[in-house]
Chain A
Amino acid sequence: MPPTAPAAPSTAFPLRERFLDAYRWMLLSRRLEEKITSLYHAGKIVGGVYLGKGQEAFSAALGMTLVQGTDVFAPLIRDMAGRLAFGEALLDPARTYLGSALGPMRGRDGNIHRGRPSQGMPAMISHLGAMVSVVCGMLMARRFQGRTGAVGATCVGDGATSTGAFHEAVNVAAVEKLPLVVAVANNQFAYSTPTASQYACEDLASRAEGYGIKGYSIDGTDLEACLRTFDEAIRSARDGGGPQLVVGKLLRLTGHGAHDDGSYVPDTLKHQPFGRDCLDLARLRIIDEAWASPLELEAWENEVIESVQTAVATAQKDPTPDPYGEKWQALASTWLIEGGSAQ
């Protein structure tokens, strides 16, 4: 090959294809969450509803760049888009939010506390930062078992970066040089607490240097930037580059949950560039670049709405958990359950 042969990865990046894929996952996530929110306000949802509005580009870009079946993805509360893009069936969130006995959590846990750990998606617990070390362990297991080439990714917000669990786990990943990607959606608020009360550094990505790992700081509303950065970070982790810390600056365009109007979010933030709606930005980009026709965009919208309606309708017809049929067994070793067969 002559030395002038083009080899820049940027030219090889299939931007249009990835962008359109991501856009459809973002759209599906947004419409599903809108549906769940209206069901919540109608009193049809058991427990709380936590939304990813404003974070879909960052989340979807991560989820779709991972490989289901090989990689690990531990999402957090605002990662509907990433979950779906990674391969979570639409019925899983529908069933979990609606309290179906047939969902992955079978009524034992709800809403965003869902997952299928044996299929590479652990079910988050509510304690922030706690999933990072679990992903480290899943990657350590792959190392022991000689299963190479896998990456583990997990999402946190700016709030979780203040926990000891987050620090311990990122440090462990750095020490063990694990192929871990930590996506920090810096959405400016942890519930109602602004970043000024959360951390004092200029940019959370600067913490990467302290851990001895690679850090990235991006505009989390810019889908292209999200796609390119996660592509690079995941590839780097997969190629032995160790942990990667990706911080996306964006704004939570909703309250903490459907119960919270987020009235404490000042208008000045909403008018910042990172306060824009990533879904609107992506649609405008698609139109600008003529990557899809208005007819195609409308068709996707209709497809998404139909699939959401179908999933929700299915989950609504499901049986609910039966307290009399419930086994009430917290141990796999059934013979050691007190009051059980051995007692």
Chain B
Amino acid sequence: MAGPGLHLAHRRRERPVSITYLEAIRAAQHKALTDDPSVFIYGQDISTFGGAFKATKNLSRDFPGRVIDSPISEDAMVGLAVGAAIEGMRPIVEMQFADFSSIALNQVINQAATMFWRTGTACPITLRLPSGGTPGSGPFHSQSMEAIYSHYPGIIVLTPATVGDAYSMLLEAIRLDDPVIFCEHKFLYYHLKEETLPTESLPIGKARIARPGKHATVVTYSAMVHEALRAASELSADGWEIEVVDLRSVKPIDTDTILGSVARTGRLLCVGEAFPWGGVTAEIISRVTSEGFHLLDAAPVRLNSKDTPIPYHPNLWSAHRPTARVIGEALRKMLKF
């Protein structure tokens, strides 16, 4: 520990040597609580304990009474947030795992999502969903719920893939006057690090070209961005230039950026970690074939997880979801056309 400690001592205190995706989420909540007295956080084990993943570590110490432990009652957690939002608060709800938000589905899709349209009253709630698979997490601690929530009108669904987006998009989400599902990927929590937090960023609703290219486009989001980038690096050794589009938000989808990329490359591969039936990848292919059919030189392809529950054992899990290797194979096959 002496090495890093010494290293830190030589730097300015407010600039950490590196910040993880998880720390960015914590920092965004800290800033939101600092900037806006109407923000509070509600969830299980989030107060003194700091949350199952420590995303709220020390926040209850710094903001007494504003980081509140809830009972294990996902329905009531979201219902309570909706009620508080009606009265001008900006609640953040931490679901312990995205998977458990299924218990709150009614409050999200019927209560929160219909509120503004039915009554004209805004419903600014942010639901943080620790999402996606990690080795050994199994069927009920690994799910990606973005397609379910995106299906319903009245909800914004965000899937940050970078430390910077985890920070800036969460801050922006809390400021929005609509219900936001914030899908933060657990696999990125500790793996992903950046030097500093961003001071400016793309707005919500805009996709990002994570890697420019000209032979094929991979449209993806969340943890799959990093698998796609690895695949693109590997293919570059053979001279293929793969463009990787990071959606950032899956509702709304930045169709213009996708079509622009496909216009440059003529080939489209969509990659998502979620289950294969319907969902974000199907939506993108539907839009591109409908609005940009003339841009395509080959049939668009999509990769998702297998159509089974998410397995527990790392051997099975790593074969269940798309990986850089599988993405690379799909790209090579597509590039033969």
Contacts and interface: CB of A to CB of B under 8 A. Distances in A.
Contacts of B204: 336
Contact of A171 (B73, B83, B122): B73
Interface in B160-200: 176-178
Interface in A312-343: 329-333, 335-338, 342-343
Interface stretch (A110-118, A257-265, A294-302): A110-118
Contacts of B327: none
B106 interface: yes
B117 A330 contact: yes
B88 A338 contact: no
A182 to B, nearest CB: 13
Contacts of B205: 335-336, 342
A144 B84 contact: yes
A145 interface: yes
A130 interface: yes
Contacts of A336: 156, 176, 178, 204-205, 252
B91 to A, nearest CB: 8
Contacts of B86: 117-118, 122, 134, 137-138, 141
A105 interface: yes
Interface residues of B, number: 50
Given A130-B110, A137-B82, A138-B83, A168 B177 contact: no
Given A141-B88, A333-B177, A132 B79 contact: yes
A137 B110 CA distance: 16
B237 to A, nearest CB: 38
Contacts of B117: 108, 329-330
Interface string A137-148: 111111011000
Given A168-B71, A168-B73, A336-B204, A134 B83 contact: yes
Nearest to A105: B118
Most buried by B among A126, A140, A142, A337: A140
Interface string B71-94: 101111111111111111101000
Nearest to B86: A117
Nearest to A127: B106
Contacts, number: 156
A343 B255 contact: yes
Interface string A65-109: 000000000000000000000000000000000000000110011
A123 interface: yes
Interface in B302-335: none
> By DSSP majority rule, is chain B's interface helix, strand, loop, or mixed?
helix
A139 B83 contact: yes
A116 B79 contact: no
Nearest to A135: B83
Nearest to A126: B110
From B38, B111, B177, B178, residue with most partner A Cβ within 10 Å: B111
B70 interface: yes
A169 B74 CA distance: 10
Given A172-B76, A331-B156, A134 B82 contact: yes
A143 to B, nearest CB: 9
Nearest to B81: A137
B256 interface: yes
A330 B80 contact: no
Given A123-B118, A330-B154, A343-B252, A137 B113 contact: no
Interface in A130-172: 130-142, 144-145, 164-165, 168-169, 171-172
Given A330-B117, A331-B156, A333-B176, A136 B76 contact: yes
Contacts of A171: 71, 73, 76
Contact of A133 (B83, B88, B114, B154): B83
A333 B91 CA distance: 17
Nearest to A335: B205
Among A131, A135, A172, A335, chain B packs the most CB atoms within 10 A around the CB of A172
Contacts of A338: 251-253, 255
Contacts of A15: none
Contacts of B84: 137-138, 140-141, 144
A131 B106 CA distance: 11
B75 A122 contact: no
A284 interface: no
Contact of B83 (A140, A329, A337): A140
B26 to A, nearest CB: 21
B87 A134 contact: no
Given A329-B117, A330-B113, A343-B252, A165 B76 contact: yes
10 contacts: A117-B86, A117-B121, A132-B79, A136-B80, A137-B82, A145-B87, A331-B154, A332-B176, A332-B177, A338-B251
Given A133-B75, A133-B83, A332-B116, 14 more contacts: A113-B118, A117-B121, A133-B76, A138-B83, A144-B84, A164-B75, A165-B75, A168-B74, A172-B70, A172-B76, A175-B71, A331-B116, A332-B176, A343-B255
Interface of B: 38, 40, 66, 70-71, 73-89, 91, 103, 106-107, 110-111, 113-119, 121-122, 153-154, 156, 176-178, 204-205, 251-253, 255-256
Q: Which 9 residue pairs across A and B have the least CB separation, nearest first?
A: A137-B83, A133-B79, A141-B87, A168-B76, A168-B73, A137-B80, A330-B154, A332-B177, A134-B83
